Amino acid sequence: MPTLTSILASHHDGSRSIGETIAAVYRRLRAHGDPALFIGLKPEAEALAEAERLQAEGPQGRELWGVPVAVKDNIDVAGLPTTAACPAYAYTPERDAGAVARLKAAGAIVIGKTNLDQFATGLNGTRSPYGVPRNALRADLVPGGSSSGSASAVAAGIVPVALGTDTAGSGRVPAGLQNLVGLKPSPGLVPTSGVVPACRTLDCVSVFALTVEDAWLALQVVAGPDAGDPFSRPVPLGRLGACPPHLRLGVPCERDLDFAGDGAAQASFARAVAQARDLGAEIAPIEMTPFYEVARLLYDGPWVAERRLAIRDLLARDPEAILPVIRAVIAGKPMPDAAAAFAARYRLAELALAARAALKGLDALMVPTAPRPVTLAEMAADPIGANSMLGRYTNFVNLLDLCALAVPAGLAADGTASGVTFIAPSGYDAALAGIGSAFHAAAALPLGATGAPHPGSPVPPAAAAPGTVEIAVVGAHLSGMPLNGELTALGGSFLRATTTTADYRLFALPGGPPARPGLLRVRPGEGAAIALEVWSLPVAGFGAFVAGIPAPLGIGTLALADGTRVKGFLCEAAATDGARDVTDLGGWRAFVTAQASAA
């Protein structure tokens, strides 16, 4: 199966028609022979007619012109039944969900509705009356859930991209178990209007794809506030940039890692940590206690009552229509009273403070996506325990208002996959994409279960995209430095590392500790080239960033050695009186290193 990016290229250069792409999807689906993959499938003739119309109209700026997509069957697609994997719950919507409407407006063709764990309650993919979608890598393993069909359809090469949902890991665990990219955006970034709720305050629409670049392209299409969705919100998206040259990644400390006795999975994560180091990352072990306690709140606290709210009418009317394991999870114990619900919220707020402290100074947290693969037999023998194990590294993310990106990390000869997930605060989606893209390319794994090679890292962007502003940073906002998070939180993306022209001087301004950098332009021949990084910021983010810059620093226009001129930090000349001149060190990072060595 070609990637989304290659499909678009073939449509635009005319080497393949949209109709040929769609016909190939249905051929692959028939050859794959998995009746549990889709719950509802668009008739091929109807999809081909849609392809013919789009071909005749031309791209018209559509970002996904003629791209086939699959949609999880708890997300509304007009004219196709929504079942949430429960026949008694089924209805046929007249309107598309917000995310689906955006896909269609961008020229995508929805092929059908994919299978899932009933009411999106599960992480294993076996809880459906419509059967178990086959793990595309190995048929005796669970596919992962709850977005099982969406993940299997992409991994098998049926479609290049699919929508899932993710409340507690449903958009990440299936990706980890099937060698895929699973992008779980910041909560509220993608509208959930037209999505059957699991926990409405936590639900996210997620994206499965073969590469990070493909997932990011789909995210750009579906992201953005929806005036009709009270749970959507403006979140800075930024753009997919290059991986910064200096990263600080947190990983669970040794005692907080659990691979459920699987030595191969443990070794795979150790190799992933080594690979991150090879990419230039500094690894910082952190304690996961607050994160794991948050995860326990999800199923021991009031959020189970929120799951019951979504199906309470069906539960009262026809409880036998709901699978026994789903009834046990959602209605198997007394619901918390109002006082207990508030107590849980208070405890979550306390734990969120501890989690933010643990993440401070990190570019991302890197965890195993799931402890280990699980066989169908193991899941049948222990449906609750095995399912809970799969969510060890995922359950806490949405409760803590974090974004996450699952990427492949290993593919063993026996067909078992392992993955890692990068996690960061809300709004850091672009930063995670840059990290994940570099990591996935370096892993050099085939795509999904297709056997196709990874296309390699694209050429890093050298300039800001339309709607963004280039800004040069020289001090504590450099990648891996203490204030870099201010850039990434505003949707910033790393573009390139370079230097100024040779007519600047760098000072360590008094007033610390820590000392602050001051960059001053001087006469030709009196300065030197100073190392810096160029980042891009969305226009709104640039304004917010500049508004927070304290005197004597300001933003001016810097001349760079690569011949460009960009906005960047400058210092008032008067502030350098009595300041230490550190120009001879060539940059602020070298100064910080020298200071640390001297101490």
Distance (Å, rounded) from C-alpha 217 to C-alpha 214?
Answer: 5
Residue 206 bears catalytic tag: no
Q: Compute the Cα dihedral for 99, 101, 103, 109 and give only its sign.
A: positive
Catalogue the E-assigned strands of 77-138. Answer: 109-114
Please identify which residue in the block is written with the tokens 């963004």: 468
Distance (Å, rounded) from C-alpha 429 to C-alpha 452?
Answer: 27
Contact 102, 114 (CB under 8 A): no
Contact 145, 192 (CB under 8 A): no
Residue 104 bears catalytic tag: no
Q: Could you give the 3-state DSSP secondary structure of residue 411?
A: strand
What is the DSSP secondary structure assignment for residue 140, as one 8-state letter?
Answer: T
Residue 106 sits at the vertex; the CA angle it makes with 489 and 441, to the nearest 5 degrees, is 55
Furthest CA-CA distance within the chain: 84
Q: Given 72, 104, 113, 184, which residue is catalytic?
A: 72
Q: Given 128, 146, 193, 268, which residue is catalytic?
A: 146
Q: Given 128, 148, 170, 206, which residue is catalytic?
A: 170
Distance (Å, rounded) from C-alpha 557 to C-alpha 567?
Answer: 4
Contact 589, 531 (CB under 8 A): yes
Contacts of 97 (CB under 8 A, 6+ apart): 75, 76, 77, 191, 192, 193, 194, 195, 205
Residue 567 bears catalytic tag: no
Contact 376, 404 (CB under 8 A): no
Q: Could you give the 3-state DSSP secondary structure of residue 438?
A: helix
Q: Which two tokens stand for residue 539?
A: 């226009």
What is the DSSP secondary structure assignment for residue 397, as one 8-state letter?
Answer: T
Strand partners, 281: 247
* Catalytic residue ranges: 72, 146, 170
